[in-house]
Amino acid sequence: MKPDISVIMSVYNGEEYLAETIESIINQTFTNWELIVINDCSKDSTPEILSVFANKDKRIKVHTNEVNLKLPASLNKAISISEGKYIARMDADDICLPNRLEKQYKFMEENDDVDLSSCRFMTLKNGVYASGGCGGRCDNEALHTMLLVSNPILHPGVFAKAEVMKKFNYDTSLTCTEDLELWTRMAMNDIKIEILPEVLLIYRLHDKQITNTTLERQHTEVLKIQNIYYSNVASVMDDEMQKFYINGIYFREDTIVSEFIKYSKWLKKHTADNFDKSTVNYALFEILAEYKRRGISKLELLKALMTFNPFFIIKEVLRRKKLAKSDVTKCIEVADKMGLVRTAGSNEFPIFEKL
């Protein structure tokens, strides 16, 4: 019998967390799956760990690259040999909650018009668990619009129709933004994307993920990808706006409100034909919410808010509060099941730890 779900994973020197990750797949309430692991020339004990699990469970299939192919090519290899109706992504250092595959399978079966979905998540770093963000919209229109200003789709939480993944594949010329490129390319081809508003994954954060070299490469690749996306759905940004876009919009390191206002006016003008005005305002409001969290002054915040319709602001604040409350409640429920205790954080971003 063919599996309903093909879970695909690429690993390079992942010995530290690999066993815990695979155990979280084995412990799924949904059992008709295959796990395809591409060992990308690991030099640590990864091969031995994979061998132990593969010998215990025939649903686990290990393939070893002869040369280091990097993540995009390794994932394409896994996609090409997958047999499931759906493909679920998983990274070698994250943790699936026990009902992840069951919930996502049911969601996709009940929503046949959806081609690709992801889920809510909690982060884990140095033993501290936190909400992965609350209050964001989950619908296709909002996600396509948010791709103009960020990457709103959790890559290791993706669950998609296999036929769609096999049609599009990852761009192997990229090294750290292959997911963003895939989502924007799908959006330009009217692929329907939604997020299941359930916390189904623990997304691990650690110091090995980001280096100065990686960050510089990310900036370069993001700009390349977004120039293509913008040229198709909006307009081409000039050099000055591109510089602010990277630092002030996508990565939100520079909270320069005057530049944000200039960008906002430009975006509203050039997206009028392809995006709903209220959804563009939502995407811009998300950026401003991050600016507020980063500590811009009340005066600067007021200047930025004046670019929005007052009725939109009221409606959006109420929507965010309602959805954030629901999302936080779900995080607390997950934390309770995991035996975690709330120790810090805000109402919107609670923090948990194990006793």
For 163-246, strand residue ranges (E) read 193-204
Is residue 348 one of the residues assigned to a domain? Answer: yes
**Under a CB-based contact definition with an 8 Å cutoff, are residues 128 and 351 in contact?**
yes
95-96 and 159-161 as β-strands: parallel, antiparallel, unpaired? unpaired
Co-location of 39 and 152 in the same domain: no
Indicate whether 86 and 112 sit together in one domain: no
What lies within 8 Å, CB to CB, of 243 at 6+ separation is none
Rounded CA-CA distance 63/67 in Å is 12
pLDDT of 133? 72
Give the separation between CA 288 and CA 304, rounded to whole angstroms. Answer: 8
Q: How many domains in the chain? A: 2
Does the reported pTM lie above 0.85?
yes
The answer to whether residues 256 and 331 belong to one domain is yes
Q: Is residue 62 part of a domain?
A: yes
Q: Cα 168 from chain centroid?
A: 18
Tokens of 113: 């018009």
> How far is it, in rounded angstroms, from Cα 102 to Cα 98?
8
Residue 164 maps to a domain: no
Residues 6+ apart with CB under 8 A from 245: 223, 226, 237, 263
Which parts of the chain have pLDDT scores under 70?
208-213
What is the extent of the structural domain holding 203?
Answer: 99-157+169-355
Name which of 184, 54, 205, 50 is nearest 116 in CA terms: 184
Domain endpoint, select from 77, 93, 109:
93
Phi and psi angles of residue 125, each rounded to the nearest 5 degrees, phi first: -145, 125
Q: Do 88 and 104 sit in the same domain of this protein?
A: no
What pLDDT is stored for residue 206 in this prediction? 82
What is residue 135's predicted lDDT score, i.e. its pLDDT? 75
